[in-house]
């Protein structure tokens, strides 16, 4: 196929993708499957991608589904009394690392699902706060708050999460204004049910507020302190937002990112290095009487015809197999052009993009996820594990704002060596740059920070190397080890957590709180320990391919496929798996 027809095909796929969902009639829904599947013998827990970092399933012997705080209390008591290892599991399970996996010893493991614990949303109008059951979904909360004349200021961009789950991993949107983009910094109180002595009935409820030293531990707790029952969040009078995307050159990005966040309350930047393009989001609060009733239905979270998701995946896999970097760049360019034409999914009237600025209520502009509500078996989220759709890794690194400039310059150096090598990330969402403010949470960010996300192809098989994977590995190691960036707790491959215990100045205070609240480690497992303690794992053949290790020998890559452990191109200390057709790279 020549490059024009190829580009045209991708355009058609994407355009079709955009229009078709409106025309499909209800048959039977393909809403996301429950991540927790139990039968009489045991339960299996998956994340939303249906595949954990190491591709191994995790199990529990038994599950319980409390509906009230009282029942949640009973569930924790039950686990403690019977010496079980417990984890709280949500309806969504959208965290990529195995934080919610109970212990490997299945016979002692118990999961407490908050799937049905989502009844109470109490809005205190006088004090502008809302208190919710921890299993309440983000969309459910946003709609309830707006119906009472308030807005939730910060939230992640994706709405398929629960309040308990999202604060536990430090989830965020983007802002340096006010309390900033992290949801946990808008939390003013929470209740957590922790193990207790027999005399106390094996579990007790702690009601924590700002003045309590344990509060800073409990705001971002990875689920290892106990079961959060209630969360109280600050809300503000209902407001609207006005959004304009500026698709422009990436020249000067390193000098603009600070001003950009200072100028626009909900600023972000999407950087497509291979396309030399930066997309600045000019996004500000506007008065409630400004006209506009738009919806931000972010393109990546739309309800896609499964046939399209499968075709896009098949195309990507073919380009991988044929080592067609140029083909990846054609799709990256087509994807970017399509995003520009559709404003990333902004819809002025709720249906179509007709021009900037796009103005709408906060409840419709911050967070989305229309694929969660598929009305048909023919549509789903693009990554739904039941279809042959997208499968990707997701690296998310958090930098102190001041050092981010040097990181951008390093990435530009790497890009300039061969811009085409970056097309693989630009086929997803490039490098998404967001802002969060300094926080008191022990496992939050102690200073104003920048968060970057980038996604890249994950093969069907763990031992299949991927086109230009050395570039993603260098980017990953540069972020986490050269610049000491912190990994987002809910994303990343396991190597991103190496040495994480040295990166938080209040890390020890968190560990002390954990020992105080859960001395028997009821809520910890091998899996969550692996993440929280950032230990290096034993290396095995091919381990670097999945980000389970950093290679130090060729066998950690895939010598049989000509991928050898090699030095980074810009960050020389990086050790990455690089394709080399003829010559074995000289020793490291």
Ligand X SMILES: *[C@@H]1O[C@H](CO)[C@@H](O)[C@H](O)[C@H]1NC(C)=O
Report what 156 binds from ligand FAD, ligand X, none; CB cut-off 5-8 Å by kind.
ligand FAD
In the region spanning residues 209 to 268, those forming contacts with ligand FAD, defined by CB under 6 A, are 222-223, 227-228
In the block, tokens 């309350």 appear at 265
Kindly state whether residue 526 participates in binding ligand X, applying the rule CB under 6 A. yes
Q: What angle do CA 151, 153, 158 make, to 5 degrees?
A: 100
* CA neighbor of 195 nearest in space, from 512, 520, 527, 532: 520
Number of other CB atoms surrounding residue 7 within 10 Å: 17
174 vs 268: CA distance, rounded Å? 6
- Whole-number CA gyration radius for the chain: 23
Q: Spell out, one character per residue from 94 to 123, where the chain touches ligand FAD: x when CB under 6 A holds, - when not.
A: xx---xx-------------x---------
103 or 426, CB closer to ligand X?
Answer: 103
Among ligand FAD, ligand X, none, what binds residue 84 when CB lies within 5 to 8 Å by partner kind? none
Q: Choose from ligand X, ligand FAD, none: what does 298 bind? Cβ within 5-8 Å by kind.
A: none
User: Which residues inside 141-160 make contact with ligand FAD, applying CB under 6 A?
Assistant: 156-158
How far apart are alpha carbons 37 and 46 in whole angstroms? Answer: 9
Determine the Cα–Cα distance for residues 450 and 296; give it in Å rounded to an integer: 23
**What is the C-alpha end-to-end distance of the chain, expressed in Å?**
40
Q: Could you say which of 23, 26, 83, 289 contacts ligand X (CB under 6 A)?
A: 289
Tokens, residue 81: 């009394």
Select from ligand X, ligand FAD, none the partner in contact with residue 113, using the beta carbon and a kind-dependent cut-off of 5 to 8 Å: none
3-state class (DSSP) for residue 110 = strand
Nearer to ligand FAD, 184 or 554 (CB): 184
DSSP state of 478: I
Do residues 167 and 187 touch, judged by C-beta distance below 8 A? Answer: yes
Measured from the CB atom, is 26 or 41 closer to ligand X? 41
CA-wise closest residue to 18 among 379, 358, 328, 292:
379
Work out whether strand 109-113 and strand 62-64 pair parallel, antiparallel, or are unpaired.
parallel
* Count of residues in the chain: 588
Binding-site string for ligand X from residue 528 to residue 567, where x marks contact by CB under 6 A and - marks none: ----------------------------------------
Q: Tell me which residue has its CB nearest to ligand FAD.
A: 165
In this complex, which beta carbon is closest to ligand FAD, that of residue 95 or of residue 304?
95
Alpha helices per DSSP H over 377-499 = 404-417, 423-426, 469-477
| Angstrom distances, CA of residue 228 to CA of 135, 166, 234, 518 | 9, 12, 17, 13
Q: Does the protein bind ligand X through residue 83 (CB under 6 A)?
A: no
> For ligand FAD, what does the binding mask look like between residues 429 and 468, x meaning CB under 6 A?
----------------------------------------
Q: Is 262 in the site for ligand X (CB under 6 A)?
A: no
Residues in contact with ligand FAD, shown as a per-residue x/- string from 359 to 398 under the rule CB under 6 A: ----------------------------------------
**Among ligand FAD, ligand X, none, what does residue 324 contact (CB within 5–8 Å per kind)?**
none
- The CB-nearest residue to ligand X is 64
Core vs surface per residue 77-113: b (16+ CB within 10 A) or e: bbbbeeebbbbbbbbbbbbbbbbbbbbeebebbbbbb
Q: Which is nearer to ligand FAD, 489 or 564 (CB)?
A: 489
* Residue 115 is a binding residue for ligand X (CB under 6 A): no
x/- binding map, residues 461-490, to ligand FAD, per CB under 6 A?
A: -----------------------------x
- Smallest gap from residue 246 Cβ to ligand X (A): 4
Binding of ligand X by 40 (CB under 6 A):
yes
Which of 34, 67, 248, 376 lies at the binding interface for ligand X (CB under 6 A)? 248
**Number of residues in contact with ligand FAD, rule: CB under 6 A?**
30
Considering the rule CB under 6 A, would residue 69 count as an interface residue with ligand X?
no
Question: In angstroms, rounded to a whole number, what is the distance separating the alpha carbons of residues 214 and 228?
Answer: 13
Distances (CA, A) of 261 to 7, 61, 343, 431: 35, 48, 20, 16
Rounded distance, CA 35 to CA 59, Å? 11
287 binds ligand X (CB under 6 A): yes
Which of ligand X, ligand FAD, none does 228 bind, CB closer than 5 to 8 A by kind?
ligand FAD
Residues 27-56 that bind ligand FAD (CB under 6 A): 48
Bridge-based pairing state of the strands 187-195 and 240-249: unpaired
175 touches ligand FAD (CB under 6 A): no
The H or E element containing residue 216 is helix 215-218
For position 41 contacting ligand X by CB under 6 A, the verdict is yes
Distances (CA, A) of 340 to 59, 245, 326, 353: 43, 8, 21, 10
Report if residue 184 touches ligand FAD, rule: CB under 6 A: no
**Residue 484 CB partners (closer than 8 Å, separation 6+):** 503
Q: Which residue from 172, 241, 260, 514 is in contact with ligand FAD, where contact means CB under 6 A?
A: 172
Per-residue interface string for the shown chain with ligand FAD, residues 57-96, x marking contact by CB under 6 A: ------------------------------xxxx-xxxx-
Taking the least distance from each CB to ligand X, the nearer of 344 and 367 is 344
Token pair for 292: 């506009």
Binding partner selected for residue 40 from ligand FAD, ligand X, none, CB under the kind-specific 5 to 8 Å limit? ligand X
| Residues near ligand X (CB under 6 A), total | 14
Angle formed by the axes of helices 253-263 and 404-417, nearest 10°:
140
The reply on whether position 534 binds ligand FAD by CB under 6 A is no
Binding site for ligand FAD (CB under 6 A): 48, 87-90, 92-95, 99-100, 114, 134, 156-158, 161-162, 164-166, 168-169, 171-172, 222-223, 227-228, 490
Binding site for ligand X (CB under 6 A): 39-41, 62, 64, 78, 103-104, 246, 248, 280, 287, 289, 526
């Amino acid at each position: 196929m020549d490059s024009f027809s190829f580009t045209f095909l991708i355009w058609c796929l994407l355009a079709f993708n955009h229009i078709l969902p409106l025309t499909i009639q209800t048959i039977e829904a393909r809403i996301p499957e429950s991540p927790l599947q139990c039968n009489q013998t045991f339960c299996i827990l998956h994340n939303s991608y249906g595949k954990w970092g190491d591709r191994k399933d995790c199990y529990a012997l038994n599950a319980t589904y409390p509906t009230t705080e009282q029942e949640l209390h009973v569930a924790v008591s039950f686990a403690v009394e019977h010496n079980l290892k417990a984890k709280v599991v949500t309806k969504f399970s959208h965290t990529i690392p195995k934080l919610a996996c109970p212990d490997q010893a299945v016979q002692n493991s118990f999961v407490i699902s908050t799937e049905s614990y989502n009844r109470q949303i109490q809005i205190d109008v006088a004090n502008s706060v809302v208190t919710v059951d921890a299993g309440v979904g983000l969309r459910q909360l946003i709609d309830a708050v707006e119906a009472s004349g308030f807005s939730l200021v910060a939230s992640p961009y994706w709405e398929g999460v629960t309040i308990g789950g999202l604060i536990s991993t430090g989830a965020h949107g983007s802002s340096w204004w006010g309390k900033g983009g992290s949801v946990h910094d808008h939390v003013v109180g929470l209740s957590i049910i922790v193990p207790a002595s027999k005399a106390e009935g094996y579990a007790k409820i702690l009601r924590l507020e700002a003045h309590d030293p344990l509060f800073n531990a409990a705001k971002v707790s990875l689920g290892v302190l106990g079961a959060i029952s209630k969360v109280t969040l600050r809300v503000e009078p209902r407001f609207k937002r006005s959004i304009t995307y500026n698709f422009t050159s990436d020249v000067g990005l390193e000098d603009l990112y600070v001003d950009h966040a200072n100028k626009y309350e909900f600023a972000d930047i999407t950087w497509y290095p291979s396309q030399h393009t930066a997309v600045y989001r000019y996004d500000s609060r506007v008065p409630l009487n400004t006209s506009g009733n738009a919806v931000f239905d972010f393109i990546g979270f739309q309800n896609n015809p499964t046939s399209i998701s499968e075709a896009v995946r098949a195309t990507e896999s073919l380009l991988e197999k044929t080592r067609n970097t140029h083909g990846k760049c054609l799709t990256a360019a087509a994807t970017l052009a399509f995003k520009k034409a559709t404003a990333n999914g902004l819809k002025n009237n709720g249906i179509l993009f007709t021009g900037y600025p796009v103005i709408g209520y906060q409840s419709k502009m911050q967070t989305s996820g229309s694929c969660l509500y598929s009305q048909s078996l023919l549509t789903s989220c693009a990554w739904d594990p039941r279809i042959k759709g997208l499968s990707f890794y997701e690296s998310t690194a958090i930098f102190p704002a001041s050092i981010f400039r040097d990181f951008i310059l390093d990435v530009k150096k790497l890009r300039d060596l061969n811009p085409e090598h970056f097309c693989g990330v630009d086929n997803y969402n490039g490098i998404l740059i967001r802002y969060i403010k300094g926080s008191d949470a022990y496992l939050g960010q102690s200073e104003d920070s920048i968060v970057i996300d980038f996604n890249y192809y994950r093969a069907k098989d763990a031992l299949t190397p991927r086109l230009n994977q050395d570039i993603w590995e260098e980017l990953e190691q540069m972020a986490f080890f050269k610049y000491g960036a912190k990994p987002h707790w809910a994303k990343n491959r396991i190597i991103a957590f190496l040495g994480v215990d040295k990166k938080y100045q209040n890390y020890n205070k968190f560990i002390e709180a954990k020992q105080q609240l859960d001395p028997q480690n009821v809520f910890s497992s091998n899996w969550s320990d692996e993440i929280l303690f950032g230990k290096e794992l034993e290396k095995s053949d091919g381990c670097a391919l999945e980000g389970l290790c950093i290679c130090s020998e060729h066998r950690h890559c895939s010598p049989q496929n000509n991928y050898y452990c090699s030095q980074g191109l810009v960050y020389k200390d990086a050790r990455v798996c690089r394709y080399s057709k003829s010559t074995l790279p000289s020793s490291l």
